[in-house]
Amino acid sequence: MSDAPATVDRLDWARARGVGALAEKMGFEWVELTLDRAVGRMPVEGNTQPVGLFHGGAYCVLGESLGSMHANLHAGPGRLAVGIDINATHTRSATSGFVTGVCTPIHLGRTLTVHEIVVSDDQGRRCSTVRITNMIRDLPRE
């Protein structure tokens, strides 16, 4: 299923690939990556709306970073997962500290994956629920 055989190696695998320039600028940090879930966090500071609340788009960046990387882990070598749909429902506002996203698969198919990402504040209160669908394609042969 993947070129990353062990849990610790999977986290190293993800860190080696990076999270992309946007998530990196936003302070994304990996916490866990297994075949069952992906966990990451992002600081509230620097990712707020003008009124001081964690930006809704930042929830989506966190969710897409986790869901897409987990989908790519599932896709395995020679395949690429790309996001084709994302939505988020925000139910609480984070104003300080970190938000943590816990990404779990809803569907892991041959060509599509669907993940739910629950984003909580430092007190463990759910702030947003993100859902992402990724399409899996074969990489072009050289």
pLDDT digits (tens, 9 = 90+) for 108-123: 999 999 999 999 999 9
Model confidence, pTM: 0.90
Q: Where are the alpha helices (DSSP H) in the chain?
A: 7-17, 21-25, 56-75
Average per-residue pLDDT for the chain:
92
**Residue 61 pLDDT greater than 60, yes or no:** yes
DSSP for 37-70 reads: -EEEEEESTTSB-TTSSBPHHHHHHHHHHHHHHH
pLDDT digits (tens, 9 = 90+) for 75-114: 999 999 999 999 999 999 999 999 999 999 999 999 999 9
- Provide the pLDDT for residue 63: 98
CATH superfamily of 7-138: Hotdog Thioesterase (3.10.129.10)
Catalytically active residues, by annotation: 64
**Residue 4 pLDDT greater than 80, yes or no:** no
Please list, residue by residue across 34-49, b when 16 or more beta carbons sit within 10 angstroms of its beta carbon and e when fewer do: eeeebbbbbbbeebbe
| Greatest pairwise CA separation for the chain in angstroms | 50
Average pLDDT over residues 45-60: 97
Token pair, residue 92, equals 């609480």
- DSSP summary character for residue 142: -
- Provide the pLDDT for residue 18: 76
